[in-house]
Amino acid sequence: MAAPHVIVIGAGSTGAATAHDLALRGLRVTVLERGEIANCTTGRNHCLLHSGGRYCVKDQESAIECIDENLILRRIMPDAMELNGGLFVALNEADLAFREKFIEGCEQCHIPYREVPVKRALEMEPFLNPGLLAAVQVPDGVFEPFRFCLAFLATARHNGAVVRTYTEVTELARAGQFITGVKVLDHRTGKTQEIGADLVVNATGPWAGRIAEMGGVEVPVAPTAGVMVTVDQRLCNLVINRMDKPADGDIVVPQRLTSIIGTTSWAILDPDQIEIPKAHIEKMIQKGRELIPAIQRRVTRGVGAAARPLIRKANTDEREVSRTFECFDHQRDGVDGFVTISGGKTTTARAMAEKAADVVCAKLGQRAECATRTTPLLSYRLFYN
Amino acid sequence: MAIQVPIKVFRYRPGTAPHFERYQVTVPDDATVIDVIEGVWAEHDRNFMFRHACHHASCGTCAVRLNGYERLPCIVPVTEALAGRQELVVEPLRNFPLVGDLVVDVAGFFQKQAASGLVITRAAEATLSGQPFAHSELFSQAGALEERAYNRFENCIECGICISACPTMAATDKFWGPAALAGIRRATLTTGDCQEKAALLALADSEQGVWRCHSAFECTESCPQDVDPGGAIMSLRREIVGRKVKHLFGAG
Ligand SMILES: Cc1cc2nc3c(=O)[nH]c(=O)nc-3n(C[C@H](O)[C@H](O)[C@H](O)COP(=O)(O)OP(=O)(O)OC[C@H]3O[C@@H](n4cnc5c(N)ncnc54)[C@H](O)[C@@H]3O)c2cc1C
Ligand code: SF4
């Protein structure tokens, strides 16, 4: 008997990692993506392979997810990352007061850290604000989002998955309480087509609510936008973070010959229409300069924005919402054969995939353990083989 | 301030005749050309096909021909692209199979890129904007501290711009092309293994290799990342010839 067929909608980090996990467990997988791989949130994120340091005080569940996944990804995806670490720096008395909590948080979340004397920090990072009062190093890293997704998808394809880009899901096919497949518009040909499936996974990030709606169910995903400003100079080797609870413009991520300053956070309605407030760009430069005074507006290279697929909880302030993920089996809403995986981060994509694939396999009676923790990924370039 | 940008874009689907269509797109005055291209999709035609991801010249997906020259639209300000012109003209890269509208098939290109085996990270240079930086103690793969060089991504973002600009690529597909040869050159510099280096040089010396290049240097001229593929090809030629000469005199 042929293995069950699963459709994964979306080829951002969540869909890419989910396709890989499912293919590795022996399922037949088809990925449907309306545009290029990683053309949305994943492609335009801050590229930070989180150590968890950013969340270790306020959101320890996320912090632990981050460090666990960080240490796994280092081993399975060596070729699409800069593994230089990150520094959390205190610039004023308030930051300094946060230091103890920060270190306690690192310990509670088993994040490796070391305190770096100020003089040494300035030797490591000569462009850092010379007035810094304390620095702590953690294993942050930098990934390249497009290639991050390609690596998962290259491996998925190697294990039999089919990846169709420029193929937009327009409807979900339904028979009684079952989702039986999808209707797509293939932009390459302009033709519509129905594709049957034993199960459909909704991995569309901030669009998850829209796809869920097609299936007649609701998911509490709140698209929350953020801006990043890239300057045309590499001014640090490590990721530079402000030692404080997460706030606007408190990270500078180096990438190639550039530095990316981020980010802000505001709720939006339509993730396809993000208008970047000019004030946010100025704020990034201004806050970035507190960390690295050499940052200048005139060498801005690119400005981007994307929408986080945050899971809405009772709480309303988007900075306070947990950055963890959730998998929804819509059977609980009376619709079977339909699963949504959303929230989370690119850093935790593999763990999200594991959770989604566990649910999918249980539903389909596919008995297979998750093997993605230890399976090395293929080179991203092999996606095109 | 919002501005209206007139744009003329290449439209194509397999089995239909390629043609241009004109649109007006509204963007903020500090937008880049990728915002205008995205605007064609968002404001006018949700079937319009284009590639994009990072919007800061790192993924390499969005390369097109803008006003007749290969560019990364994500880092070209609209005002600069419009200076002295009535409208923007956007076409897909040349020397790649067309898929639809601005999208080209990059599979063959990435297969060639894979030939060098070059990993996209490398040890960071000893200086950063001219300033030296100290040796580093970094967390290892297992999360323990170890001494190791800082690393960073290679400059080449595999955007395909040099392929589109290269006159040799226009004449034949049987050429590694500027980016892959630049990759082979980088790999010869980073490998410590003599055999591997010899194999890389043999690749560069092959029928598809450096001798097909007409030294037009269009690649170096158009590369948005200062990779200088033309220079890499010349270096490979010198090294290959040097080895042959040595060999001829029995020193190899
Ligand atoms: C500003 C910002 C900065 C961030 N920084 C970081 C960071 O530094 N590190 C980190 O780990 N995480 C970061 N994140 C979080 C991370 O980017 C997201 O959690 C992650 O990218 C979500 O991935 P996804 O695959 O779920 O969604 P997406 O990447 O948005 O993918 C969803 C995909 O679904 C597709 N799709 C939608 N509708 C359809 C349809 N009808 N048919 C077919 N396909 C469809 C879309 O085209 C899209 O490609 C950041 C997020 C934001 C907003
Ligand atoms: S060498 Fe330059 S132009 Fe060619 S693919 Fe690389 S970055 Fe693009």
ipTM score for this prediction: 0.95
Collapsed DSSP state (helix, strand, coil) of residue A259: strand
List chain B domain ranges.
2-104, 107-119+157-251, 120-153
Q: Which residue of A has its CA nearest to B156?
A: A256
Return the ligand 2 atom nearest residue B63 CA.
Answer: 8
Closest by Cα among B212, B202, B130, B229 to B169: B212
Cβ within 8 Å of A, B 25-54: 28, 30, 32, 42, 47, 49, 51-54
CATH of B2-104, one of 3.30.1330.60, 3.10.20.30, 3.60.15.10, 3.40.50.10860: 3.10.20.30
Owner of token pair 């290679």: B154
CA of A1 to the centre of ligand 1 (A): 35
Domain annotation for chain A: domains and CATH numbers: 5-41+146-220+323-384 (3.50.50.60), 87-141+222-311 (3.30.9.10)
In this prediction, the residues of chain A whose per-residue pLDDT falls under 50 are none
Tell me what pLDDT residue B252 has.
Answer: 47
| pLDDT tens-place string over residues B114-148 | 988 888 888 887 666 677 777 789 998 888 999 98
Is B177 touching ligand 2 by the criterion CB < 6 Å? no
**Cα separation of A46 and A73, whole Å?**
17
Mean pLDDT across B14-30: 95
- How sure is the predictor about B24, in pLDDT bands with cuts at 50, 70 and 90? very high
Tell me what pLDDT residue B126 has.
Answer: 65
Residue B219 has pLDDT above 80, yes or no: yes
Tell me what pLDDT residue A97 has.
Answer: 95
How far separated are the first and last CA of chain A, in Å rounded?
A: 28
The structural architecture, per CATH, of the domain B107-119+157-251 is Orthogonal Bundle (1.10)
H or E segment to which residue A184 belongs: strand A178-186
Query: Residues of B with CB below 8 A from A69's CB?
Result: none
Tell me what pLDDT residue A268 has.
Answer: 86
Closest by Cα among A344, A334, A307, A349 to A210: A307
Could A302 and B143 be called an inter-chain contact, meaning their C-beta atoms sit closer than 8 Å?
no
Q: Which residue of A has its CA nearest to B110?
A: A381
Ligand index nearest the alpha carbon of residue B183: 2
Closest by Cα among A200, A212, A373, A229 to A298: A229
Tell me what pLDDT residue B129 has.
Answer: 67
Judge residue A30's burial from the number of C-beta atoms within 10 Å of its C-beta, 0-12 exposed, 13-18 middle, 19 or more buried.
Answer: buried
Alpha helices (runs of H) in A125-249, residue ranges in sequence order? 145-158, 208-214
